[in-house]
Chain A
């Protein structure tokens, strides 16, 4: 049973960089049928797609966040990571990693539990 687990600091100071890692277990991150994505949800608000990466490093980003986002993959560790720079209070959210079905389907079929990241001094 494939599982995804987010990890990283729960508190980040304004103007600093938010860094999170998603560890994939029970399956291969290099499976060519899947992509890997990050989604966030501010408290009490809706879902926002941040970006997606393929095992070979190909990335897709939300245009509204693209200037601040970097997503990378480390297949040797079965992990993919998110970096969001110059954070403000509006970046406070539950950040989730998820498996995205490939071959052009563009939907998430498996999610991590999510981790709350608060931006505050």
Chain B
């Protein structure tokens, strides 16, 4: 069965610090990978996605993620965080089997100190 692991449940950073949130998945076949973000009081929204091609994908608000197939990882990064990045971040995987069962990780709560 597919599963998604997010390494950190809570992260606290100061503004301008660099961010890397870990995500590993378990599935041997082709996968589609997503990072979703939920800002306080708002809906879950898509941050970025990887389907194929360049393993380094760029999303909104300066976020990027790198797909490393050999490590089954899809880590999220941002060079310099802002207070407005305070949110909960979810990694998700959908195996490319034609179905639509998206598996989410448990989430990482990021708090950025001003």
Q: Say whether A and B bind each other.
A: no
Chain B positions within 8 Å of A, measured between CB atoms, are none
| A residues with CB within 8 A of B | none
